[in-house]
Chain A
Amino acid sequence: MIFVFALFLLTLLVITAIAIVRTENLFVSVMLTSIFSLLMAANFFILDAADVALTEAAVGAGITTVIFLSALALTAEREKRRAGGQLIALGAVGILAALIIYATFDKPRLGDPEAPVHQHVAPWYLEKTPEYIDIPNVVTAILSSYRGYDTLGEVFVVFTACIGVLFILGVRPPEQTATRSAESGGLRHHLIPQVVGRLLVPFIVLFGLYTQFHGEYGPGGGFQAGAIIATGVILYALLEGEGEALRAVPRSVLLGLVVGGALLYGAVGVVCMLMGGAFLDYSVLSADPVWGQQLGIIIIEAGVGMAVCGALLSIFHAFAARGTQP
């Protein structure tokens, strides 16, 4: 049964992707992209990747859509038609697709326990995690300890994007193009979204915090939590208007969050070095290495959550503020 469902989902995925490309209304296109992400998340869930599904749903369907929409509000809604050049592109792309499909025939089939992926490094993680770190969620263990350096790099990617957006949108907009975006006043005058939204916001934030601190046991962790909390605040901003949200969480606090989160992560690494371990070797943080690992992971995840949440919100505000400046 589940296979039929998966087949159905995958086919739907392709159809959605084609629809996204075909439609000329950018607004529709963005909405379809959001659906595409949700389908993708459902697919990930079927493939046993709960953490990734959660992230894809929060980031892909939530944050990305919001950022796209706020950018659309500042630019144009419709794409202009243009002729020519598309057949060649279609041909080239078709050939490439055939090539990739050809290459798939040698790949191990789905779910084969004998596939090399499942033979080499991964079993070690599954086997040793209870011994070294002793938290149930192996994904979190790899993310923040075994491959903690990657995650550090990733936090800095988000950080770079955040500075980048602030920097690029930091110039004062020229007078003639400063259009007011529709969302600047919020949906204050619509009763139903207002009431429902108000009820939802605290729950979303609460759920985000739960994801943050429960990441060692169930699916979840810093990224997901950061993204979910950011979604909550953005919803608040949409309901109450941009200014209100900024009053609740001022911009300097956001920037502080980003910087603080990134620094917290780096600082843990340095502290580990100072205490005689390698960079990001949490075992030395405490007399008991297992407990040290857990402590390190909790701090790291908090840093990640702070940085991601702060960065996503700063990016959102940078876009949104663009529309409201006179």
Chain B
Amino acid sequence: MKLLELLGYYNYWVFAITLMIGLYAVISKANLIKKLIGLSIFQSAVFLMYITMDKVEGGTAPIIQAGVEGQIYSNPLPQVLILTAIVVGVSTLALGLAIVVRINERYGTIEEHEILDAD
């Protein structure tokens, strides 16, 4: 019981820490691809937050089994939202990478300060 309580907060802490690791990469790295990797960590952290809140003690995945009464199910709604968010995340990444590829073609570099120097 105590352990579960700790784990409950631990999930949120991991969310906060990974979120900030991602943000740190986005802010401090000069390499554009590295920035995008940071962005994807940043987004995954949010997924973790949503999924954490859908867990119900003693529950199981929200797929209703016929003939089983009184089964506790975890909350399906955050899962739906995150399914959507994952796909949105991939779309953004793909677009970002396409832009990086074009930047590399036009500037010959993917380092932020070198691009700034070039103009």
Interfacial residues, chain A to chain B (CB-CB below 8 A): 3, 6-7, 10-11, 13-14, 17-18, 20-21, 26, 29-30, 33, 36-37, 40, 43-44, 47-52, 55-56, 59-60, 63-64, 67-68, 71-72, 74-76, 79-80, 82, 85-86, 89-90, 92-94, 96-97, 100-101, 104-105, 107-113, 115, 117-118, 121-122, 125-126, 129-130, 136-139, 142-143, 147, 150-151, 153-154, 157-158, 160-161, 164-165, 168-169, 171, 173-174, 177, 217-219, 223, 308, 312, 315, 318-319, 322
Contact = CB atoms under 8 A, between A and B. Distances in A.
Given A17-B21, A118-B75, A136-B63, 17 more contacts: A17-B22, A50-B61, A51-B61, A51-B83, A55-B86, A63-B90, A64-B40, A79-B29, A93-B23, A113-B56, A117-B53, A122-B76, A137-B62, A147-B80, A161-B94, A169-B98, A177-B104
Chain A: interface secondary structure?
A: helix
A93 B98 CA distance: 28
A47 B54 contact: yes
Contacts, number: 295
B97 interface: yes
Given A48-B74, A164-B95, A117 B21 contact: no
B101 A74 contact: yes
A18 B41 CA distance: 10
A104 B74 contact: no
Please list the 6 inter-chain residue pairs (A to B) with the smallest Cβ-Cβ separation, ordered nearest first. Answer: A110-B8, A161-B91, A109-B8, A111-B57, A48-B74, A104-B12
B52 A47 contact: yes
Nearest to B33: A26
Interface of B: 3-5, 7-25, 27-31, 33-34, 36-38, 40-41, 44, 47-48, 51-66, 72-84, 86-88, 90-95, 97-102, 104-106, 108-111, 113
Contacts of A3: 3-4, 7
Nearest to B64: A136
A322 B101 contact: yes
A7 B22 CA distance: 20
Contacts of A173: 105
Contact of B76 (A89, A115, A125, A161): A125
Nearest to B34: A79
Contact of A111 (B40, B56, B65, B108): B56
Contact of B11 (A29, A89, A110, A169): A110
Nearest to A99: B16
A40 B33 contact: no
A129 B106 CA distance: 54
A142 B77 contact: yes
